[in-house]
Amino acid sequence: MEKRLVLSFVLSFLVLYLWAMMAPKTPESPETAASLNATETTTDQPAEIEDISAAATSAIEPAEVTPTEYFHIENDQLEITFANVGGGLVHIQLKEYDEPLPVDHIGGFQEYSQRVFQVARQEPRLLEFRLTDEDFSVSRIYSLDEEGYTLHVTDKVTNHGEMSKDVRLDIIGFTLNMRDGPKGHHPNKPKVSGPAASRDRGLNEYAVNSAKGIKRKNNAYKFGPKDEKTEEGSVTWLAFRNRYYATIVKPEFETTGYSQRVIEEQVLQLHLNSTPYKLSPVESRDYNYTVFIGPERTELLKEYGGDFDKIKRYYKFGLFDAIAKLIGGLMKVLYGFIPNWGVCIILISIVIYYSMYPLTAKGMASMKRMQALQPKIQQLKERYEDNPQKLNQEMLELYRREKINPLGGCLPMLFQMPVFIGLYQVLWRNVDFKGAHFLWIKDLSQPDRLFTLDFSLPVIGTDINLLPILMIIIMAVQQRFSAKNMTAADPVQQQQQKMMMTVMPLLLGFIFYKFASGLTLYFTMFYIFSTITQWKISKEPKVTNA
């Protein structure tokens, strides 16, 4: 009875799986990125005014190559690495998850990005770089809170010359560095253990919250001309998110727009625009940023205000996104009572399956009545084999007479699909599953991996994952009950039923074999409930039509 439901789930999973692997980038109108210091500035006293960008450039003289040095600050949640070249952030490590993030060079000025800074102050959670040239002093101060995921950045420009300066700086928001290996997360440092940030490429997304709303770009792994653009309007924050984590950069100074620049195929830089200003002698100007670097938890993001929580989105389509957030909230409530995510997944599977059961039962009843009509339908097909138009008329009359809707078995299933689609993303992207144990499962965000072989098997590799194997067995049993409940009308249908009994379990097992065990656990429970339902139906008397 539930064969169509299972088939619809399989097809939906295939679509979601292929979309995650091959989804194209979200199209955006290509625009040429504008350079912020390309226009010469004019003042009322040109003989006494200098451009800071010109001063920074002219101060660079041929010299001996200075080796790059690295410095660290950390708290219990974050370890952040900086380089003396540019005084910039070059690597972020989430310590509790052992994950690197592909965001670097937060803040700073393009004009000074290749200059060598000196360390002026260093503490466990604070680092200050300083650079002084003929006319300006530039300091970069980074500090972490004692606990949590907040990085504070202050870039200070001081005019220590004797003349006023017309300051027109090219402000870096952050850089997305999606390359793997030494050139990726940290130059001249061994590759960090664990998967690269580009692992789930379809889930990589950068976003800008500006006066024009939030603009997003998914599948942010490779960049091209369409990623080059300039937008006007104040900027609330710039952000990057992947499957589990987010980096949100909030400028605490006035901005007038932003620009996106492709540095390399896998490197994109977001810049902030600000109004040029004059800097009098001894005067300073601060550029402050509040930066969130951490897991994408709604309650955590809401603590920051500034619409930080709006970075979290499961789907572009509002209905799916709302359902996903509702399911995610329900799981949080369940976890408050039973602090085990494996048990919560089982409970949510019970809640969803049996809340949807009235629709499922209605569809199954309709299909059962349709099955009882198969002999009469077959007679009509034989009688009007050469007259398709008459056949359709007679079949419609038969449905009317028996008060059966031929789509009655499909429509209830169609209504369940938004729930299924929303649930998929919740289980796939829940950061709380990272490292969560359940029975033999060591990490609900990874395949359950019962044990590892010393050799590789075709398709499955070296890891023996128990849950997908259990799913295959359970689904095979379900298919047998389903076959008993649906009598095939002709040899062709009988052959199709036999093929479905073999192919469907194997296909689903193949799809789920590399999936996160939390997701596989849910659907294993779903097929257990479906099998119980099919067993109950097999005990009911056959439906007959007059």
* Cβ(252)–Cβ(131) below 8 Å: no
Q: Which helix (H) or strand (E) holds 58?
A: helix 52-58
Q: What domains sit in the chain, N to C, each tagged with a CATH number?
A: 50-60+72-309 (2.70.98.90), 322-539 (no CATH)
pLDDT value for 78: 93
| 469 strand-pairing partners | none
Cα angle vertex 187, ends 184, 188, to 5°? Answer: 135
Residue closest to 219 by CA, chosen among 241, 198, 203, 197: 203
Tokens of 77: 């949640």
State which amino acid sits at residue 502: T
Q: What is the Cβ-side half-sphere exposure of residue 259, based on CA atoms within 13 angstroms?
A: 19
Query: Which residues are CB-neighbours of 502 under 8 A, at least 6 positions away?
Result: none
* Cβ(210)–Cβ(235) below 8 Å: yes
| 206 strand-pairing partners | 217, 240
Q: Which helix (H) or strand (E) holds 520?
A: helix 517-539
Tokens of 155: 């870039």
Successive 10-residue mean pLDDT values, the chain, 546 residues: 48 48 39 32 38 45 66 94 92 88 90 91 94 88 94 92 84 87 41 40 86 87 88 92 91 92 91 89 92 91 87 82 88 91 91 82 72 77 80 82 70 72 83 88 86 81 86 82 60 67 78 84 87 74 55
Measured CA to CA, the distance from residue 241 to residue 156 in angstroms comes to 28
Cα angle vertex 37, ends 36, 41, to 5°? Answer: 120
User: What global pTM score does this model have?
Assistant: 0.75
494 torsion bin: left (phi>0), alpha (psi -120 to 50), beta (else): alpha
Query: Which residues are CB-neighbours of 358 under 8 A, at least 6 positions away?
Result: none
Measured CA to CA, the distance from residue 402 to residue 396 in angstroms comes to 10
pLDDT value for 133: 85
Residue closest to 49 by CA, chosen among 60, 61, 38, 40: 40
H-assigned helices in 338-465: 341-355, 357-372, 374-383, 388-402, 411-429
Q: What is the Cβ-side half-sphere exposure of residue 5, based on CA atoms within 13 angstroms?
A: 32
pLDDT value for 158: 92
* Cβ(138)–Cβ(126) below 8 Å: no
User: Following CA atoms 311, 315, 316, 319 in sequence, which dihedral angle do they give, to the nearest 10 degrees?
Assistant: -120
